[in-house]
Structure 1
Amino acid sequence: MNLFYTALYYFQKRGFEVCRRIAERLGIRTRVVRTSFIYLTFVTLGFGFALYLFLAFWLRIKDLVYTKRTSVFDL
């Protein structure tokens, strides 16, 4: 049971970053984005989860490619 809670804590800590970033980008509450993904997953039988994983992958690649530098000396 401890392994279950460890995995749950990991996904809660790291997984909601996608929802938070999408919510900030759209200017809406994070809770609305999370519940939308949950409803979309149940209605479309897994498409919402696949979309969530795709967006997580896309944001990760974007973070690796694009880094904000504050000055010329940060190179």
Structure 2
Amino acid sequence: MKRLKEFIEWQAFGVCTAIGDRMGIATSRIRMWFIYISFLTLGSPVIIYMVLAFWMNMKRYIFAARRNPWWNL
């Protein structure tokens, strides 16, 4: 069950996990508040989540390109 949870966390962009790690807050608490706020605002935090996921993914590619200059050729 733990492997499934970890797989879903990192394959589902890992935005809440990254925020929790950076701010020192439990990931489960961030997810809970994200769900509550999504219900109250009719899903608008989903847009913010997608923007953050896109940003994290692009940041990962930029750092990978800096480490491996042969990848750019």
Q: TM-score, normalised by structure 1?
A: 0.67
Q: Confirm or deny: 8 A CA contact 1:41 1:48 kept in the other structure.
A: yes
* Structure 1 residues without counterparts, runs of 5 or longer: 1-8
Give me the whole-angstrom Cα distance separating, in 2, the residues matched to 1:51 and 1:36. 14
* Structure 2 residues without counterparts, runs of 5 or longer: none
Matches within 5 A, 1:42-61: 42-61=39-58
**Alignment: residue pair count:** 61
What is the DSSP-based 3-state SS (H/G/I as helix, E as strand, rest coil) of the residue aligned with 1:28?
coil
Give me the whole-angstrom Cα distance separating, in 1, the residues matched to 2:31 and 2:39. 13
What letter is aligned with 1:52? Y
Give me the whole-angstrom Cα distance separating, in 1, the residues matched to 2:41 and 2:55. 21
Q: Confirm or deny: 8 A CA contact 1:18 1:56 kept in the other structure.
A: yes
Partner of 2:61: 64
Partner of 2:35: 38
**Aligned Cα RMSD in Å?**
2.2
Q: Confirm or deny: 8 A CA contact 1:19 1:33 kept in the other structure.
A: yes
Amino-acid identity (%): 38
